[in-house]
Amino acid sequence: MDRIDKGRIKQRFSAAVSNYDQQARAQQQIHQRLLSLLSYIDRQAFQRALEIGCGTGGLTKQLMSQLQVEHWELNDLCDMREHLQSVLPQPFHFHCGDAEQLPFPQQYDLIASASVVQWFEDKAGFIARCKVRLKKHGFLLFSTFTPENLTQIKHLTGVGLTYPRLEDWQKWLVPEFEILALEHEEIVLHFDDPLAVLKHLKQTGVTATQQQGWTKGQLHAFCQQYQQHYRNAQHKVELTYTPMYVLARLT
């Protein structure tokens, strides 16, 4: 299992809240792709739904507009209650804390999560807990990332999360879940320079794995190498997200 500092994650994402929605271009695409998977489901009405790691409510708002859910329960590591009450169209119950530790009290028809599971220490354990918390024939809808995610950053710094492969997720889901969709894609973002890449990562909380700051020399070397390796013909530098998407039904 990964050893992940949840305190650092909470600190970095809390600091990123005010800029998150503006900077999270890849997340917006990920939300749209997750929503498109709902076409595989032959129902839109649910008694109770849980979203794990709802953040600023980007996916939540769209799920609420697309589904009829009697009781919404939302979770995040950061206390997002006040913000969510100001942006969401429906009432909800909020669980603040680490989703790997919280004893969610209900059985759910739908559990959803966007780009959160990669921060869990025990990814297989996430699937096992969802099996327990879902009603029979309940749905699990989530996104995470493949091992190629943010490859530019990992190549130049050696820092990054450990991401399971699609085959690992398949193994953890089967046989208790019927996999309705298991997909992946590349989202390539373009920036004027490497400093803009670092600003983007900071303002979306993605730097939560970084242990310490850089010296001026280290920053200069990073920018030089990034330009050398990842500048395209339009003189922009690239940053690649590799999201994967799962929709599964508990059998």
Gap between the Cα atoms of 59 and 158, Å rounded? 31
pLDDT digits (tens, 9 = 90+) for 130-146: 999 999 999 999 999 99
Going by pLDDT thresholds of 50, 70 and 90, the confidence category of residue 19 is low
What's the residue count for the chain? Answer: 251
Average pLDDT over residues 121-126: 95
Model confidence pTM above 0.85: yes
How far from the centroid of its chain's Cα atoms is residue 249's Cα? 20
Phi/psi at 52 (5° precision):
-95, 125
Mean pLDDT for the stretch of residues 172-187 = 97
Among the residue ranges 105-109, 199-203, 232-236, the one predicted with the least confidence is 199-203
Residue 210: pLDDT band (50, 70, 90) is low
DSSP-assigned letter for residue 231? B
pLDDT (0 to 100) of residue 11: 75
Collect all residues with Cβ–Cβ distance below 8 Å to 240 and sequence separation of at least 6: 148, 149, 150, 151, 152, 186, 187, 188, 189
Q: pLDDT confidence of 193, banded at 50, 70, 90?
A: very high
- Confidence check: pLDDT of 221 > 70: yes
Q: What stretches of the chain show up as alpha helix (H) in DSSP?
A: 6-23, 25-36, 58-66, 81-87, 123-133, 151-157, 166-173, 194-203, 216-230
